[in-house]
A and B are shown apart, each in its own frame.
Chain A
Amino acid sequence: MTDRSTQTAQSKHLKKRYRAEKRFKFFGLAAICSAAGILLVLIGGLTQMSIPAFTHHYVKLDIAIPETTIQAEQVTDPVAMRKVNWRGMVRKALRNEFPEVTDRSGKRAIGNLLSGGAGDAVRDKVLNDPTIIGSTVEVALPLSDDVDLLLKGLIDRSLLEENRVVSDRELTFIDHLEATGRIDRRIAWFLFTSGDSREAEMAGLRSAAVGTLLTMLVTLLFSFPLGVMAAIYLEEIAPKNRLTDLIEVNINNLAAVPSIVFGLLGLAVFINFFHLPRSAPLVGGMVLALMTLPTIIIATRAALAAVPPSIREAALGVGASPIQVIFHHVLPLAMPGILTGTIIGLAQAAGETAPLLMIGMMAFIVDTPMWINDKATVLPAQIYMWANNPERAFQAKTAAGIICLMVFLLLMNALAIYLRKKYEKRW
């Protein structure tokens, strides 16, 4: 009797425990699902917003390049090439499509359908093949950002004229060009191949992407050796005393310091004291290296500590010196963990803007930087600047920039995972 009642009590208790475990599993699943859902909404929204930025509308026109404009042998001379009125040439070609328009404002309106950089398309064509001088060639000219938005359906045609950035007259021109099949939509390669611009139809990520690469190079070269050496010393060589404890606490604390503080430090020390150049990847990289150091030190120490003592003892047993043990056995085995930590630290640094604001890397820079002394900006700073531009077309570009940055970070993290998987040892 008593036996059975204990049994029922036990089975009741068991059921209760199973229920609690089920509940716990459910909450865990719900947390994962909601996190994944939020991420999906974020990425989905961004992707949808960015789609318009990956294509652009072009108008195909027959452009006559008279021999009087430039000699074939002058094509490589930048001064002579600059003297040619490419802009006038393309505007005239487009005006020829509308012989009935003779008034000045009408002519101006036709010219304004084209991007300010439309002339460059002809120039580049001549540069590629100087033999076309003297003949008529078909060139695809980029349209202005407003016309492009209208053709993508992002400007509402049904609005009153005064509420629309494209006038009624411009609408009739656009409709005519579309009806004659001169307009087509192409992939906007300039998003990757050109530098920044104030015209949405010419702005690209190239200078910022190169800036990010140079900055990351400096960050890597400063933080990796310093971080790994510091970690090896602290973990393997340094005696355990109050001083090293204090250093350890401080390193852990530094990992949580807001990044803007490193920017202020960079401004005060590197720029104002050492007089290093402003807006340069060198200073940006050094600031980000300071920010990444704690991450690398902590990851390296963890990786070193994870190497089993048997390896060390065996090495010491066959007569290796303590330094030989570290460099010949422990460090190579800890390397996958060290590399993972470094890459994740760099990926975090690549997404930083706040410290770079202080040292002048948030700037309008068109030319692609060639070396670490050149003025440069980075991808997240470029995204921030685009987000501030009033022109509507920059909204899609901002989203496209974010997508590109995320792909960049994803690639870095994928590399970290690959390295870990390739060299990882299981004990």
Chain B
Amino acid sequence: MPETKAFQLNFTKLISNIFIASFFLLGTTFVASARDQIVIVGSSTVFPFSTSVAEQFGRNTEFKTPIVESTGSGGGLKLFCAGIGLEHPDVTNASRRIKKSEFDNCQSKGIAMTEVVIGYDGIVVANLKSAATLNLSLKQIFMATAAKVPAPGCENDCALVENPYKMWSDIDPSLPAKKIEILGPPPTSGTRDAFQELAMQGGSKSFPTLNALKKSNKSEWKRIVHTVREDGGWIDSGENDNLMVNKLIANPDAVGVFGYSFLEQNADKLKGSNVDGVAPTFENIADGKYNISRSLYFYVKHAHIGTVPGIKEFVEEFTSENAFGEEGYLIDKGLIPLFEEERDAIRTQGVALKKLEL
């Protein structure tokens, strides 16, 4: 059959061509190429800001647009501290400060770095616009979220019991008689770390029992104040904050814990709860009045400056008034700026590549 014949010939050719092509492909890839593009990894909270700067940087300078990968703060620092060389990232973002252990690990690989603080981020406890506004204290937030709390109605040396509070009104009669249902970030998230650190640990200070425990058994104390309840009061809701916003809209009784920028973008649907009498507004977070807020950072690897072009200029762009200043483009993306003097100091240190010491 002539048709089969033609196809048969084609086919033999096809197979051999594909073989040749894949060997060629293998060949080309082992030609190591110098990298002319900054590689950034790290926190998903800093990701929207870092990408904005990367884009501006690529458009306004002769350098290529840096690539930004969202790996989480811890994952980013791990990659960053893996070593010196073009296969390792040049910059890592973090929604918390580098830990001593991480810093030591970096040092042992001979990695020197500069720390740059870029601004603040508030963590809000928000619910649907039509629901009642919650006026919470950090103490009440701890009581609503912790797995174990000091027994109710007891002052000192209390036994720690499984969280007995099922309704907000169980915690305080002034709170609504609604079931406690908190949608929050999962354990892999930097927002979760910050929430445990700032809100839960902060709230635990109102309990003498826990303060005593801190003195006697620090690791046990840390476990207690950082453990989120697992009886249905707290629901891990994935890294996608947009999804959480939709879940809150579907369930008016639920409250959500997420970054301020998502509240800002959804101000027509959601509102933030007051914490210790302070509303989560732009001004209150910037002034440091709002209690659940944290600084955002990035770290620059010294050894790569000069090898990968544009790192210094990238730091300059990130710390320019046009970017992280009060009217900069990062503010439109939801970043809360530092004070002017702080910004000036950070800019000078960043551009001079001051070495971080811990």
Which residues on A sit within 8 Å (CB–CB) of B101?
none
Residue of B with least CB distance to A274: B30
> Roughly how many angstroms separate A360 CA and B108 CA in the complex, as a whole number?
25
Which residues on B sit within 8 Å (CB–CB) of A82?
60-62
> Roughly how many angstroms separate A164 CA and B52 CA in the complex, as a whole number?
23
Flag whether A206 is at the interface (Cβ < 8 A): no
B59 to chain A, nearest CB (A): 8
Which residues on B sit within 8 Å (CB–CB) of A163?
129, 267-268
Which residues on A sit within 8 Å (CB–CB) of B242?
387-390, 395
Flag whether A301 is at the interface (Cβ < 8 A): no
Which residues on B sit within 8 Å (CB–CB) of A392?
265-266
Flag whether A24 is at the interface (Cβ < 8 A): no
User: Is the pair B65, A222 in contact by a Cβ cutoff of 8 Å?
Assistant: no
Which one, A91-99, A134-142, A366-374, is touching chain B?
Answer: A366-374
Flag whether B253 is at the interface (Cβ < 8 A): no
> Roughly how many angstroms separate A165 CA and B333 CA in the complex, as a whole number?
12
> Roughly how many angstroms separate A221 CA and B29 CA in the complex, as a whole number?
14
User: Is the pair B240, A388 in contact by a Cβ cutoff of 8 Å?
Assistant: yes
Within 8 A of B (CB), among A137-172: 155-156, 159, 162-165
> Roughly how many angstroms separate A328 CA and B4 CA in the complex, as a whole number?
10
Flag whether B193 is at the interface (Cβ < 8 A): no
> Roughly how many angstroms separate A333 CA and B3 CA in the complex, as a whole number?
11
Flag whether B339 is at the interface (Cβ < 8 A): no
Given contacts A198-B333, A332-B8, A364-B54, contact A388 B241 (CB under 8 A): yes
Q: Contacting A221 at CB < 8 Å: which of B21, B50, B62, B327?
A: B21
Which residues on A sit within 8 Å (CB–CB) of B262?
390
User: Is the pair B261, A363 in contact by a Cβ cutoff of 8 Å?
Assistant: no
B162 to chain A, nearest CB (A): 34
Interface residues as binary, A348-365 with B (CB distance below 8 Å gives 1, 0 otherwise): 000000000000101111
Interface residues as binary, A258-279 with B (CB distance below 8 Å gives 1, 0 otherwise): 0000000000000100011111
User: Is the pair A221, B48 in contact by a Cβ cutoff of 8 Å?
Assistant: no
Given contacts A198-B48, A335-B7, contact A390 B265 (CB under 8 A): yes
Residue of A with least CB distance to B89: A278
Interface residues as binary, A113-141 with B (CB distance below 8 Å gives 1, 0 otherwise): 00010000000000000000000000000
Q: How large is the interface on A (under 10, 10 to 19, 20 to 34, 35 or more residues)?
A: 35 or more
User: Is the pair A364, B67 in contact by a Cβ cutoff of 8 Å?
Assistant: yes
B92 to chain A, nearest CB (A): 13
> Roughly how many angstroms separate A155 CA and B265 CA in the complex, as a whole number?
11
User: Is the pair B267, A366 in contact by a Cβ cutoff of 8 Å?
Assistant: no
Chain B contact residues: helix, strand, loop or mixed: helix
Which residues on A sit within 8 Å (CB–CB) of B60?
82
Flag whether A375 is at the interface (Cβ < 8 A): yes
> Roughly how many angstroms separate A276 CA and B267 CA in the complex, as a whole number?
45
Residue of B with least CB distance to A376: B67
User: Is the pair B12, A327 in contact by a Cβ cutoff of 8 Å?
Assistant: yes
Flag whether A282 is at the interface (Cβ < 8 A): yes
Within 8 A of A (CB), among B248-285: 261-262, 264-268
Q: Tally A-B pairs: CB < 8 A.
A: 118
Flag whether B47 is at the interface (Cβ < 8 A): yes
Flag whether A396 is at the interface (Cβ < 8 A): no
A307 to chain B, nearest CB (A): 12
Residue of A with least CB distance to B71: A360
Flag whether A71 is at the interface (Cβ < 8 A): no
> Roughly how many angstroms separate A42 CA and B47 CA in the complex, as a whole number?
30
Flag whether B216 is at the interface (Cβ < 8 A): no
A264 to chain B, nearest CB (A): 14
User: Is the pair A364, B51 in contact by a Cβ cutoff of 8 Å?
Assistant: yes
Q: Contacting A367 at CB < 8 Å: which of B39, B64, B68?
A: B64
Flag whether A245 is at the interface (Cβ < 8 A): no
> Roughly how many angstroms separate A79 CA and B262 CA in the complex, as a whole number?
38
> Roughly how many angstroms separate A364 CA and B240 CA in the complex, as a whole number?
16
Flag whether B348 is at the interface (Cβ < 8 A): no
Given contacts A198-B48, A198-B52, A364-B68, contact A282 B29 (CB under 8 A): yes
Residue of A with least CB distance to B327: A108
B61 to chain A, nearest CB (A): 8
User: Is the pair A225, B18 in contact by a Cβ cutoff of 8 Å?
Assistant: yes
Residue of B with least CB distance to A195: B65
Flag whether A189 is at the interface (Cβ < 8 A): no
Most buried by B among A156, A276, A365: A365
Within 8 A of A (CB), among B34-78: 37, 39, 41, 44, 47-48, 50-52, 54-55, 58, 60-62, 64-65, 67-70
B320 to chain A, nearest CB (A): 15
Interface residues as binary, B140-169 with A (CB distance below 8 Å gives 1, 0 otherwise): 000000000000000000000000000000
Interface residues as binary, A304-340 with B (CB distance below 8 Å gives 1, 0 otherwise): 0000000000000000000000011001110100000
Q: Contacting B268 at CB < 8 Å: which of A156, A228, A364, A373?
A: A156
User: Is the pair B70, A362 in contact by a Cβ cutoff of 8 Å?
Assistant: yes
A53 to chain B, nearest CB (A): 15
Flag whether B104 is at the interface (Cβ < 8 A): no
B39 to chain A, nearest CB (A): 8
Residue of B with least CB distance to A108: B327
B264 to chain A, nearest CB (A): 8
Given contacts A388-B239, A423-B7, contact A225 B65 (CB under 8 A): no
B344 to chain A, nearest CB (A): 22
User: Is the pair A332, B11 in contact by a Cβ cutoff of 8 Å?
Assistant: yes
> Roughly how many angstroms separate A78 CA and B62 CA in the complex, as a whole number?
8
Which residues on B sit within 8 Å (CB–CB) of A116?
329
Q: Nearest 8 pairs between A and B by C-beta?
A: A363-B69, A221-B22, A364-B68, A366-B65, A332-B8, A364-B51, A390-B265, A198-B52
> 15 other contacts beyond A388-B239, A389-B48, A392-B265, with CB at 8 A cut-off?
A197-B55, A198-B51, A199-B55, A218-B25, A222-B22, A225-B22, A276-B29, A277-B87, A328-B8, A332-B7, A362-B70, A364-B51, A364-B69, A365-B67, A366-B58
Residues of B within 8 A of A (CB): 4, 7-8, 11-12, 15, 18-19, 21-22, 25, 28-29, 33, 37, 39, 41, 44, 47-48, 50-52, 54-55, 58, 60-62, 64-65, 67-70, 87, 129, 239-242, 261-262, 264-268, 327, 329, 333-334
